[in-house]
Amino acid sequence: MCGIVGCMGCPNGTLETLMDGLGNLEYRGYDSAGVALGPVLETRKRAGELDELRKTVAEEPPTGDFGVGHTRWSTHGPPADRNAHPHTDESGRVAVVHNGIIENYQRIRDELEAEGVTFTSETDTEVVPHLIARELESGSDATNGDGGCSPADAFHAVVDRLEGSYALCVVVDGHEAIFAARQGSPLVMGVDERATYLASDVPAFIERTRDVVFLEDGQRVELRPDDWTVMDADRSPVEVSVETVEYTAEATGKSGYDHYMLKEINEQPDALRQCLSGRLDELDGTIEIEELSDLEEPTSVQIVACGTSYHAAVYAATLLRGAGVPAAAHLASEYATAPAPLGKGTLVIGVTQSGETADTLAALREARARGARTLAVTNQVNSTAARECDDVVYIRAGPEIGVAATKTFSSQLMATLLLTEDLVGLAEDLDPLIEALRDLPGAIQTVLDTTDAREVAAEIADSDAYFFIGRDRQFPVALEGALKCKEISYEHAEGFAAGELKHGPLALVTPATPVFAIVTGDGERARKTIGNIKEVEARDAPVVAVTDGRSEAERYADLVLEIPETHPLTAPVLTNVQLQLVSYHLANDLGRPIDKPRNLAKSVTVE
């Protein structure tokens, strides 16, 4: 669920404002869209591209003085008109748009269905309008004279019941107001002399105003025709500052977060939805990247990259070898001066977030000069790598401002997974993997909502060094976890293949060197990694298990970071999110300049 837009008192017409805002949010990725206008409530929604909604509203335009709109990426329920937002109650009196995940929705849904409520969608969001409608009819605060409660009271009562992450906007038939709340999902308000706006991010209304209020977690807002109020969860008014922003990524990117890095960690569910959009076909059970339709299966693959992108390359090479294709990841700076031998049919892949990384470009140029076909995996459209390579796959992570890569790494992992399946195939039965990919954004959100990373970081602060271990597909996550720790906390950290710890690095293990052990699944790799944990325990080093609980690794750990169970190929994304958060909180506690670590640049354009 990706994009929210709302407006009250729009001078250029409510419907036009909402549709323009939804168009500005298309970059976030979506598979359906809709609008609701009031005070006489009218809703229109369609699955598919925004053009489908435009056709619908052109044929039967809704009218109103205010309204809300939404672009959705499927989480609960497939792309379909019935699952598109806004969602309404049975009578059509309440309309709701929502980003995030309501974790206790099933319990609420069971309760409402037991009372006779009929649901029309599979979404978690639909419980909200039904709850509000029930409060309006039978709420205890009878302030509107008809035995129920006021729309404002009903909204607050329902928000108090919700668990999870959400940005919510609600309109009620016959009532001139928009109610909104933020908890763990971005929501920003735009203001000017005539109108007020709500959106997931500033680009939705930037053409109309640059004066904004970045709402914080736990805050709620009521927009009325002549004023607006921001309040806390107790409904006490909150003083907020109106900021004037410039339309640049740096000026508008934080959306109320303390750091770009934290914002971008929290954007990973949306980033993954964008990466996967249009590439999964659940009905046919296929994964396909349209840009690679002319690319033949390679006989071997060489992957060149630097830094975080190199760790994604290690993951990709592991996938390819598992699919039976000879593959190796190379540090681009080494490959450019000492390239590996090329065989007939060798494909050289360059993984680069910016598409401008000098070492990676040099390696790709060397490979192409020697006759290899080249492919760029990048985030930047029309970047040098995208232009110079024979083929390109975009990871679609969106703008990333923080120097330490977060959401782009997750998107690189998934883009290379999709790439591997498209090129050579990962398994005969893709259904479990496709299901895991579909559920992955929600699983990341669960990690974000339930993580103990802050407490873990506090426990291990002031250590001498930090070690990270993992096997197979979790090995590159161990490398990346150590790199993040180094980049932003300035603390010494190292990542190892778990089995290598005893071949030398174990000499460095002491009671002052916490070891992060990544253990997922319950197979041989997990059992062997638990053996490595015991080796560490014998040296009195604290152990932090990053685990899905299937191997009971937590029994041997001092601290635990949990992830939901998922497919073995997608588990590295979830373990990585936990390690990102640990590094962030450790660096924040140490007072480091997280977004701009010393000596580092976002795009390294020199060799």
Return the closest-CA partner of residue 356 out of 90, 97, 607.
607
Asked if 602 is an active-site residue, the reply is yes
Is 10 marked active-site?
no
Contact 342, 369 (CB under 8 A): no
Q: Quick count: other Cβ atoms within 10 Å of Cβ 297?
A: 11
- Closest by CA to 75, choosing from 23, 29, 112, 26, is 29
The torsion angles phi and psi of 218, rounded to 5 degrees, stand at 90, -10
Q: Which residue has the tokens 């980003």?
A: 99
The half-sphere exposure of 596 on its side-chain side, counting CA atoms within 13 A, is 1
CA dist., res. 31 & res. 185, Å (int): 19
Q: What is the CA radius of gyration of the chain?
A: 25
Distance CA(217)–CA(234), nearest Å, equals 13
Q: What are the tokens at 280?
A: 């999964």
Q: Which of 2, 149, 275, 306 is catalytic?
A: 2
Give the contacts of 302 (CB within 8 A, at least 6 positions apart). Answer: 327, 328, 330, 335, 340, 342, 346, 347, 348, 349, 367, 372
- H/E segment holding residue 586: helix 571-589
The alpha carbon of 196 is separated from its chain's Cα centroid by a whole number of angstroms, namely: 27
Structure tokens at 200: 């997931």
Tokens of 442: 């929600």
Dihedral sign, Cα of residue 146, residue 152, residue 155, residue 158: negative
Catalytic residue from among 502, 528, 596, 602: 602
Residue 437 carries which side chain, given as an amino acid letter? Answer: L
- Sheet containing 346-352: which strands, arranged edge to edge? 327-331, 300-305, 346-352, 373-378, 391-394
Point out the residues that are catalytic. 2, 602
